[in-house]
A = this chain, B = another copy of it.
Amino acid sequence: MTTQQSTSNELKNCIDACLHCYQVCTQMFMGHCLESGGRHVEPEHARLMTTCAEICRTAAHAMLSQATVHTAICGACAQVCEQCAASCQAIGDMDECVRACRTCAESCRTMASGGGQQQSTRTTGSGARASH
């Protein structure tokens, strides 16, 4: 497997992790949290869950769009996911969301540090030589 292929796989994995986290956060807040009430609908937790869903969706969009600026957005996404995971763990009974947020945070951190940078070379034609 070439460097470019592994980069492409990392990009695909990160898109999947972001879209999965988006879905889990949205479904759990709109279902489990709203129906449970109490701490599950505390303002800070509710805002984190919905904002996490939103930035995950936006990070996936930037990567699907093959925008080189996806790195900045993935960096922000990693931070929001970490805080959302911590909030979910503190409240309890939200293990699926904790896992989805942590997996997404880790994948986004890799992207933010340049893990997906060869992605943009596909359109310049220099991609093949960019990996050694």
State the A residues within 8 Å of B (CB): 15, 19, 23, 26-27, 30-31, 34-35, 37, 41-44, 46-48, 50-52, 54-55, 57-58, 61-62, 64-70, 72-73, 75-76, 79-80, 83, 120, 123
Chain B residues near A79: list those with CB within 8 A.
Answer: 69, 72
Complex Cα distance, B30 from A70, in Å, reads 14
Cβ–Cβ contact A65 & B50, under 8 A: yes
Cβ–Cβ contact A64 & B27, under 8 A: yes
Complex Cα distance, B76 from A96, in Å, reads 27
Instruction: From B19, B43, B68, B76, give the contact of A72 (CB < 8 A).
Output: B76
Chain B residues near A55: list those with CB within 8 A.
Answer: 58, 62, 73
**A-B contacts, 21 listed (Cβ < 8 Å):** A15-B23, A19-B19, A27-B66, A30-B50, A30-B66, A34-B41, A34-B42, A34-B47, A35-B123, A37-B41, A43-B66, A44-B68, A47-B68, A52-B69, A54-B61, A57-B57, A58-B58, A69-B80, A69-B83, A72-B76, A72-B80
Complex Cα distance, B50 from A106, in Å, reads 26
Chain B residues near A73: list those with CB within 8 A.
Answer: 51, 55, 76, 80
Cβ–Cβ contact B41 & A67, under 8 A: no
